[in-house]
Structure 1
Amino acid sequence: MKSYKIFTILVAMMVMFTVSCTKDLNTAPIDPLVTTSATVFNNAAAYKQALAKLYASMAVSGQKIDFSQPDIQASDQGTACFLREFWAAEEVTTDECINAWGDGGLVEYHGGLWSDQNLYVQLMYERIFVNIAYCNEYVRDVSAKLGSLPSGLSVATVQQYLAEARFLRAYFYECAMDMYGNVPFATEAELPGTFLPKQISRGDLFKYIESELIAIQPMLAAPGTNEYARIDQAADWALLSRMYLNAQVYTGTQRYTDCITYANKIIQSGKYSLHSNYQQLFLADNNLDRDEIILPLAEDGVSTESYGDVTFIIHAGVGGSEDATNEFGIASGGWAGNRMTNTFVTKVFPDASGNTDKRAIFYTAGQKLGPIADPTIFSEGYLSAKWKNVTSAGVPGSNNTFVDTDFPLFRLGEVYLNYAEAVLRGGSGGDAGTALTYINALRTRAYGNTGAGTITAAQLTLSFMIDERGRELYWEMFRRTDLIRFGLFTGSSYLWDWKGNVMAGTGTDAHLNIFPLPASDLQLNSNLKQNPGYGN
C-alpha cells in the first residue's frame, strides 16, 4: 500500500471546471450548492485538489462513456484513458507487442493500416486534448486568483502548483507533437467555446514546449524534494532531455548537445542512482524505488480503480491460467491480449531465458516463441513478465484486479541511455568514456557483477543502442518513438512479425511515422489540415 498518493478517484471528481454561457462571465450560480470555477477556489484546499485532477487525468477517464455513440461502441471507460491509449500507440504499433483481441483499431495499429477513421487514433488524440483543456482551465482560473488567495495559502505554493500544471500541459503537448505533428493549439489565453483552435506547426510547438519547460524551472521543487509522484525540476530536465534527443525528427535540427546538458543536470544533482534490482522497478512496491524513479504515475489498488493504467498493462499481458494470474498478482484473471513478437525476443535478447541478461523477463509456460502464424492466438508469442502486481517480497498487491504498481514516467536508466546516444550522435558536453560507463552500469545491473555484460568502446554503436534501449525500456512507452528516430519504424530495413499486416513483415510507407488527425476533428475545425499521406 502506498504511503502517499497524489490522486484518487474521489479527488479526481471533486473539482469540475465549467464555463459560463451567459454574457457576464463573472455571473455566480444562483444555487449556492453548485460549485463552479467562480467559487471553487474560495477554498484553500481546492487548489491542490484541482491539481490532483490534472495528475489523475493520466490514468483515469474521469467521465462516463456514452456507449450509444457509434464511434466509441468498441471502447470502454478504461480504453479512453491516457496511459492505456499512449501505451498502445507506442507499443502495439511496433515489434515489442502484438495484440490477440482482433479489435478494430488494434489490428490496424500493428499492421500499419490505420487511417483517420481509426478508433484508437481518435481516442488518443481526444484524451490528449481534453487533458490539455483541463490544464488550461486550471492555469487560467488559478492565475486569476494569485492576488486574492484564501487565508493560509502562500503565493509561492500556488505558483508551484501552476508550474506543475504547466509541466503537465507541456507533457501532453509533447505527446501530441510526437504522434500527430501539426496539431490544434490553445493556451489559457483563449476561452473555451469561443473559437476554433488554429493549427500550429510541429517546429513551433517544439519551441513553445521548450520555452514553457525552461520558464517554470525556478518555481518547481528541487530534485527529489517534492511529495511522492509530484513534478520537480528533475522531471522537467528529463522531459527536455527526451525532447532534445528527438529534436531532429520534430524540427529538422539536431539538439544532442542540449540533450546531454539536461541529462547531466539530473545525474549531477546527486539525487539519483540506479536501483540495484531491475525488476523491482516494475513491482507493486516500486514506490520505494525513489533512488532511480524520477517521476512515477502513482497507482493504488484501493483508491485508484481504473482499467486504463498499469492495471491494463498487467491484465492484458496475461492469459487465463491460474498459475499465470497468481504469478502476476491478478487472481481475478488475465485478459489474454498483449505479448511480445518473435522478432523482438530473438533479436534484442539472444538469450531469452533471463539467465544472462536479467531484463529478459518472459513468461513462457504454455507459450510458443514463434513464428506467430495467427495474431489472434494468444499462445503464440512469449508474454512479458516485467510488470507485476506483486511486491519485491512476493506479496500480492492490495487488490487482485486493480494494481498497486506505479508507472515510471521518467527514470535514471532512460537518462543514461539518452546521454550515451546523444554522445554517439555528436553532441557536445559529454564524452565517449562517460557514455560507456553509463551503459556498462545498466548492463552490470542486468548481468550481475560478473563482468559478462560489459561492452567495449568499439561495441558502443548506434545499432547497439537501439537494441539496448529495447532491452532496458521495453513496455515503457518508448519503442515507436525510438524506432522512428533510428529510421526503422517504417520502410523495409527492419521487419517484424506482421509489420505491414504480413506474417514475416513487409515494408511500410513513411507517412505512418505520424498519425493522422482524426476525421471527426477535421470535420469540426476548418482550421486544420490533414497530415501528408492521409488524404485532405
Structure 2
Amino acid sequence: MKKSKFNFVYVIITAFVFVSCESDLDITPENPQVFLSDEFFATENAYKKGLAGVYGNLALTGTDGPSSSNIGGVDAGTSQYGRCLWYLQNLATDEAIWSYENDEGVRDLQRNIWTSDNAIIRGMYSRAMFHVALTNEYLRQTTSSKLSSRGVTDPTLLADIEDYRNEMKAMRALAYYHLMDMFGKAAFNTEEQPVAVAGVQYTRQQLFEFIETDLINLIPSLKAPRTNESGRLDQAFARMILAKMYLNAEVYIGQNRYQDCMNQCESIINGGYVLELNYLDNFKADNDTSTEMIFAIQSDGVVTQNFGPTTVMINGSVGSLEQNGISLGVGAGGWGGAIRLRKQFVEKFNGSEFDFDIRKTISGGGQRTLDILDINNRNQGYILSKYSNVSSSGINGSNSTFVDTDFPLFRLADVYLMYAEAQMRKDGATNGSSTANVSSTSLGYINALRERANDGNFANVSTSQVTLDFILDERSRELHWEAHRRQDLIRFGKYSGGIYNWAWKGNAPGGIAIPTFRNLYPIPQLSLVANPNLTQNTGY
C-alpha cells in the first residue's frame, strides 16, 4: 500500500532526526548548528530531506516512534498537528464525542468548558508555532548567499530549491491560517528575524493581511494544480487557504469578501480536479489517488506510524457492541468504542431522501441508543464508519493499528459548497433568513454532490430548497469529521449562544448556551509566560 510514497515518506523520517525543540515555551529548532545547518546540507539531497522534514511535521510528533514528541512537556497524542486540529474543529462540536474522558484535555474540550491550561489546545498552538519555526529556518538556510557559500551552483538544484522555498512559505501560511482561525492571534516571526527571538503579537487583521499578501504573491511561482509530487502542495493549496479566509472574512476582519472567495473557488475548480466517483473512496487506505484531493496529511502504517486523525478516527469508530473493526481494516475491537456520534449530527440524515445516501455510514439501534446520557457508557450514541483502513479494491492497509489512510485537509467537494455559500451571501442571503437565492451554477455544484452520494439524481434539490441553513447542514453531511465544523458553526452564528444546542454543549446532557468568547480558543498559559508580547483572549 502507498508504494508510490515510500521514498518521499522515508526522507520525512530522515529529516526529522534533525528536528528537536528547545522547550514547549519557545517553539524553535533546538540547535541551528545541527538542524538545517551547513553540516546538514553537506549533500545535495539534503535540501529535499529538509523540505520533507517540514511536511512531516503535519503527521509526525517525534523521532522515536509514534509515542514520542519533539515538543517538550506535551504528549504525542495531544501534539500531533492533524489530530489536534480534528479535536478542536470537530470534537468540540455536534459531530462526535470521545468516550475516555480521562485522556488529558478531552473532557473540558468536548464539553466546551476548556481553560488556557488545556493540553490539546496547548498542543495545537505549540505544533502550529513549531511549524512556523521550521519553515522560517528552512528559508534562512536556503538564501542565495547561503547557497553560494556552500558552492551550490547546479541550475537544476537551484531551481528545485526555489520551488522548495515557495512551498515552505505556503506551509507557513497554513499554520498561521489555523492560528488565526482558532486563536485569533499569534506570535509572529518570519525568516527575517533571528532564531529564538520572541515574536510580536499579530492580531487577526494583521495575520489575515500577511497570509493573503504572501499567498497571492506566491501562487504564480507554485506548481500548477495536480502537477507536483504526491504529498506536496501546489497552487490549489494556496487558493484553498485564500478561499476559506475570504468565506470567513466577516468573522475574521468584519469584511465581505464573498466575490473573492468565489474567484478562488473557480480557479480551483478549473484546475483539473474531478469528484471521485465513489464518495467513500476519499476516506480509504489508497485515498492518495483520489481525483478530488487537493491536499492531505499523509499517513502510512509502516513508515509514518503516528496517532494522527485517521488512526484515531478509524480505531475509534469501532463500536463497543458491534466489534466491527475487521471491516474497517483494524483490530476487531478497535479502541473499544472510543468515538460516538452526538444525536444532532445523526439527525442531519433524517428523512427518506437519505435512505440510500452513501454518506450516511451511521449505525445504531437495538442496544445502542441514540441519546448519550452517560459519556462513559460506550453503548450509548450511534457510531460512524466513514473512514477505513481498507483500499478501494478491498485490500487491508499495511498495519492493523496505524492506518494508511491520509487525512483529507482540502478536497473539491468543499470548494463546491464554499462557492454556493459565498454566492448566496454575496447576493443577499444572511444567517437566520429563509432566502433561497442559489444560482444555477451553485445548484449544479450542490446536486453534483447529491448525485454522487446517491448514485443517481433522485436526491437532487431544487432552488426553493436551498437556504443558508440547508448549506450548513449539507456541509455537515458531506464534510463531517474533516476539521471544518467549528468554523462553519461560528460563521453561521450557531456555535456560541443558545440558537443551536447539541448534546453536552456547555457541559449539559441536552446542551446549553455557551458564551461568545468561546468562539476563540485561549492562548496557552505557558505560551503567555514564555512570550511577554502575547496577551490572552477575552474571557480567559
Q: TM-score, normalised by structure 1?
A: 0.90
CA distance in 2, matches of 1:134, 1:111: 33
Q: What residue is the counterpart of 1:101 in the other structure?
A: 100
Q: Does the CA-based 8 Å contact 1:256-1:422 persist in structure 2?
A: yes
Q: Does the CA-based 8 Å contact 2:82-2:297 persist in structure 1?
A: no
Q: Does the CA-based 8 Å contact 1:294-1:412 persist in structure 2?
A: yes
Q: 1:369 to 1:425 in 2, by over 3 A?
A: farther
CA distance in 2, matches of 1:114, 1:129: 20
Q: CA RMSD in A?
A: 2.7
CA distance in 2, matches of 1:86, 1:510: 20
CA distance in 2, matches of 1:332, 1:162: 44
SS of 1:521's equivalent? Answer: helix
1:492 aligns with 2:498: yes
Q: Does the CA-based 8 Å contact 2:323-2:332 persist in structure 1?
A: no
Aligned counterpart for 1:441 among listed residues 432, 448, 454:
448
Mapping of residues 232-243 of structure 1, within 5 Å: 232-243=234-245
CA distance in 2, matches of 1:521, 1:28: 22
Cα offset, 1:179, TM superposition? 0.5
Q: Does the CA-based 8 Å contact 1:59-1:81 persist in structure 2?
A: yes
Identity, % of aligned pairs?
39
What one-letter code is carried by the residue in structure 1 that aligns with 2:355?
N
SS of 1:463's equivalent? Answer: helix
Cα offset, 1:440, TM superposition? 0.6
Residues 142-151 or 337-346, more deviating: 142-151
Cα offset, 1:415, TM superposition? 0.4
Structure 2 unaligned runs (5+)? 23-30, 429-436
Q: What residue is the counterpart of 2:26 in the other structure?
A: none
Q: What residue is the counterpart of 1:85 in the other structure?
A: 84
1:149 aligns with 2:156: no
Q: 1:377 to 1:215 in 2, by over 3 A?
A: same
Q: 1:366 to 1:404 in 2, by over 3 A?
A: farther
Aligned counterpart for 2:254 among listed residues 252, 255, 260:
252
Cα offset, 1:369, TM superposition? 4.0
Cα offset, 1:521, TM superposition? 1.2
Aligned counterpart for 2:469 among listed residues 451, 463, 481:
463
Q: Does the CA-based 8 Å contact 1:44-1:150 persist in structure 2?
A: no
Aligned counterpart for 1:217 among listed residues 203, 219, 241:
219
Q: What residue is the counterpart of 1:183 in the other structure?
A: 186
CA distance in 2, matches of 1:360, 1:140: 48
CA distance in 2, matches of 1:309, 1:109: 16
Q: 1:68 to 1:226 in 2, by over 3 A?
A: closer
CA distance in 2, matches of 1:424, 1:181: 26
Q: Does the CA-based 8 Å contact 2:243-2:261 persist in structure 1?
A: yes
Cα offset, 1:489, TM superposition? 0.6
Q: What residue is the counterpart of 2:537 in the other structure?
A: 531
Cα offset, 1:355, TM superposition? 3.3
CA deviation map 1:221-272 (0-9, x unaligned) = 1111111111111111112111111111111112111100000001123x11
CA deviation map 1:344-370 (0-9, x unaligned) = 111x11149963221111233776242
Q: Does the CA-based 8 Å contact 2:93-2:486 persist in structure 1?
A: yes
Q: Does the CA-based 8 Å contact 2:16-2:56 persist in structure 1?
A: no
What one-letter code is carried by the residue in structure 2 that aligns with 1:502?
A
SS of 1:213's equivalent? Answer: helix
SS of 2:77's equivalent? Answer: coil
CA distance in 2, matches of 1:332, 1:61: 27
Mapping of residues 287-326 of structure 1, within 5 Å: 287-289=288-290, 291-319=291-319, 323-326=323-326
Residues 506-515 or 309-318, more deviating: 309-318
What one-letter code is carried by the residue in structure 2 that aligns with 1:310?
T
CA distance in 2, matches of 1:325, 1:87: 21
Residues 511-520 or 229-238, more deviating: 229-238
CA distance in 2, matches of 1:434, 1:28: 51
Mapping of residues 402-481 of structure 1, within 5 Å: 402-426=402-426, 432-449=439-456, 451-481=457-487
Cα offset, 1:527, TM superposition? 1.2
Cα offset, 1:11, TM superposition? 2.6
1:166 aligns with 2:163: no
Q: 1:358 to 1:68 in 2, by over 3 A?
A: closer
CA distance in 1, matches of 2:459, 2:147: 54
Q: 1:277 to 1:305 in 2, by over 3 A?
A: same
Q: Does the CA-based 8 Å contact 1:91-1:475 persist in structure 2?
A: yes
Residues 299-308 or 361-370, more deviating: 361-370
Q: What residue is the counterpart of 2:14 in the other structure?
A: 11
CA distance in 1, matches of 2:42, 2:371: 61
Cα offset, 1:219, TM superposition? 1.7
Mapping of residues 266-281 of structure 1, within 5 Å: 266-269=268-271, 271-281=272-282
CA distance in 1, matches of 2:161, 2:478: 37
Mapping of residues 113-132 of structure 1, within 5 Å: 113-132=113-132
Residues 359-368 or 126-135, more deviating: 359-368
Q: 1:353 to 1:315 in 2, by over 3 A?
A: farther
CA distance in 1, matches of 2:189, 2:256: 27
CA distance in 2, matches of 1:296, 1:377: 33
CA deviation map 1:36-56 (0-9, x unaligned) = 612222311011111101111
Q: TM-score, normalised by structure 2?
A: 0.90
Q: What residue is the counterpart of 2:59 in the other structure?
A: 59
Q: What residue is the counterpart of 1:22 in the other structure?
A: none
CA distance in 1, matches of 2:452, 2:367: 28
Q: What residue is the counterpart of 2:433 in the other structure?
A: none
CA distance in 2, matches of 1:414, 1:28: 39
What one-letter code is carried by the residue in structure 1 that aligns with 2:80?
C
What one-letter code is carried by the residue in structure 1 that aligns with 2:59?
A
Q: What residue is the counterpart of 2:2 in the other structure?
A: 2
SS of 1:142's equivalent? Answer: coil
Q: What residue is the counterpart of 1:284 in the other structure?
A: 285
Q: 1:136 to 1:433 in 2, by over 3 A?
A: same
Q: What residue is the counterpart of 1:203 in the other structure?
A: 205
Q: 1:246 to 1:367 in 2, by over 3 A?
A: farther
What one-letter code is carried by the residue in structure 2 that aligns with 1:7?
V
Q: Does the CA-based 8 Å contact 1:345-1:352 persist in structure 2?
A: no
Q: 1:16 to 1:370 in 2, by over 3 A?
A: closer
CA deviation map 1:9-28 (0-9, x unaligned) = 63342444899xxxxxxx99
CA distance in 2, matches of 1:118, 1:352: 42
CA deviation map 1:83-126 (0-9, x unaligned) = 11111001110000111101342111121101111111111111
CA distance in 2, matches of 1:208, 1:455: 39
SS of 2:142's equivalent? Answer: helix
Q: Does the CA-based 8 Å contact 1:255-1:427 persist in structure 2?
A: no
SS of 1:409's equivalent? Answer: strand
Q: Does the CA-based 8 Å contact 1:72-1:119 persist in structure 2?
A: no
Q: What residue is the counterpart of 1:24 in the other structure?
A: none
Q: Does the CA-based 8 Å contact 2:301-2:398 persist in structure 1?
A: yes
CA distance in 2, matches of 1:184, 1:54: 19
